[in-house]
A = this chain, B = another copy of it.
Amino acid sequence: MKYVALAGGVGGAKLADGLYRSLQPKDLTVIVNTGDDFEHLGLYISPDLDTVCYTLADLANPDVGWGRSGETWRAMENIARLGGPEWFKLGDADLGTHLERTRRIKGGISLSSITRSFCQSWGISVPVIPMTDDIVRTHVITNELGDLSFQEYFVKHQCRPRVISFRFDGIETAKPAPGVFEAIHEADWIIFCPSNPWVSIGPILTVPGIRESIFGKKAIAVTPIIGGKAIKGPAAKMYSELNIKPSAAAVANHYKDLLTCFVIDNVDASEANQINDWGIISLTTNTLMFKVSDRVRLAGEILAFCEQQRREKRK
């Protein structure tokens, strides 16, 4: 069976890696959020694409949710000494990625072509495709500080301001990147990785045509919320601030019209009935991914569950 994984940052990258380690390369495509992309210090930075690619290439820093392992910080140290902006930390090796991406973007090369080339250089054998080659910029509208670009909200203000709403600038006219529709069309299953539903998976589904192309496909989402909390990032806080009790069920409800199946954590087993009542088949398991072996185990369980669904349908 063929799979498309929709992914944002860390959690998404981890499950994408589990799938990558479990499937034949021809059977997986990863589509990545670019709403977090921004320009900083003149560099075109794609945080989610980099997190996914570094993770698949085994270059990622295992301790934090971004950047590269064994990273050094000499450029940032010098920028700091010169009084430049320090709020967004760019490691030395990571800077190479941004410099070369920016050089190619300015040369008129599309983000998806650049990503394909980078993946080849890094030895990643599955297609990793940005959701769009067009500029989409996630903004978080907050009560205290008004309209913040995503990285201002996320990094500069550490997700502190209370969220009122989101806006994906440029999304109305954005076209899915080459290969996105084809991959979804050919896929037997769409897997929504455990990424933030509002600002990671949300932008992908809002690119015109992508949501529609997923309708009628089998789709399975993995909750990024466990026991009412997000493993990482502001997803739970966002639900609360938008007056929705953060829970696995809330995430299932978020995607309700798209889902065939939903994966919840053992600690949220009591929510399975509610999710099943919406006509979504739930898989209850350990969804935490601390080690690489956890990624492979969870991916394996999901793939087995998808396989089982197909078999049961055939009966």
Contact = CB atoms under 8 A, between A and B. Distances in A.
Contacts of A81: 96, 121-122
A72 interface: yes
B93 A75 contact: yes
Interface string A63-105: 0000000011011111101111100000111111101101100
B121 A82 contact: yes
Contacts of A93: 74-75, 77-78
Nearest to A105: B42
Nearest to A121: B82
Contact of A99 (B84, B97, B118, B122): B84
A42 B102 CA distance: 7
Interface residues of A, number: 32
Contacts of A103: 41-42, 84-85
Given A92-B92, A93-B75, A41 B99 contact: yes
B100 A41 contact: yes
Interface in A25-62: 41-43
Given A42-B43, A95-B95, A79 B102 contact: no
A200 to B, nearest CB: 25
Nearest to A71: B74
Nearest to A90: B99
A97 B77 CA distance: 10
In this complex, the member of A43, A99, A103 whose beta carbon has the largest number of chain B beta carbons within 10 angstroms is: A99
Q: Of residues A81, A106, A117, which shows the largest number of chain B Cβ atoms within 10 Å of its Cβ?
A: A81
The prevalent SS among residues of A at the interface is: helix
Contacts of A100: 41, 78-79, 82-84
A74 B77 contact: no
Contacts of A74: 71-72, 91-93, 95-96
B72 A96 contact: no
A92 B92 CA distance: 6
Contacts of A91: 74
Nearest to A101: B82
A77 B59 CA distance: 14
A75 B68 CA distance: 12
Query: Taking each of A42, A76, A118, which has the highest tally of chain B beta carbons within 10 Å of its own beta carbon?
Result: A42
A78 B102 contact: no
B121 A99 contact: no
A286 to B, nearest CB: 35
26 contacts: A41-B99, A42-B99, A43-B99, A72-B74, A72-B92, A74-B91, A74-B95, A74-B96, A75-B96, A75-B99, A78-B94, A78-B95, A78-B97, A79-B96, A79-B99, A79-B100, A81-B96, A81-B121, A81-B122, A82-B96, A82-B121, A83-B117, A84-B99, A85-B103, A92-B95, A95-B95
Interface of A: 41-43, 71-72, 74-79, 81-85, 91-97, 99-100, 102-103, 106, 117-118, 121-122
